[in-house]
Amino acid sequence: MGQIFSATTNPAVSTGDGVALALRAGAEVSDLEFVQFHPTVLWLGPEAEGQQPLVSEAVRGEGAHLVDADGVRFMVGQHELAELAPRDIVAKGIMRRMREQGTEHVYLDARHFGARMWEHRFPTILAACRAHGIDPVTQPIPVAPAAHYASGGVWTDLRGRTTVPGLYACGETACTGVHGANRLASNSLLEGLVFAERIAADIAERPSIPGPTPEPVPKPAPQGPATGASAQGGGGALLAPEARYAVQRIMTTGAGVLRSAESLAQAAERLDRVREDAVETLHRDGKTAEPGVETWEATNLLLVARVLVAAALRREETRGCHWREDRPDRDDAAWQRHLLVTLGPDGSLDVRTTDSAAFPSPTTRPETESHP
* Residues catalogued as catalytic: 87
Q: How far is the C-alpha of 340 from the C-alpha of 274, rounded, in Å? A: 24
Q: How far is the C-alpha of 139 from the C-alpha of 149, rounded, in Å? A: 29
- For CA atoms 156, 168, 203, 196, give the dihedral sign: negative
How long is the chain?
A: 372
Q: How far is the C-alpha of 50 from the C-alpha of 10, rounded, in Å? A: 8
Write b or e for each residue in 116-134: b if 16 or more Cβ atoms lie within 10 A of its Cβ, otherwise e: eebeeebeebbebbeeeeb
- With beta carbons less than 8 A apart as the criterion, state whether 278 and 237 touch: yes
- With beta carbons less than 8 A apart as the criterion, state whether 16 and 4 touch: yes
User: Around 210, how many Cα atoms within 13 Å sit in the side-chain half-sphere?
Assistant: 2
- With beta carbons less than 8 A apart as the criterion, state whether 348 and 370 touch: yes
Instruction: Select from 65, 142, 146 the least CA-distant residue to 106.
Output: 142
Cα distance between the two ends of the chain: 23
- With beta carbons less than 8 A apart as the criterion, state whether 191 and 170 touch: yes
Q: What angle do helix axes 123-131 and 114-121 make, rounded to 10 degrees?
A: 110
Q: How far is the C-alpha of 52 from the C-alpha of 31, rounded, in Å? A: 25
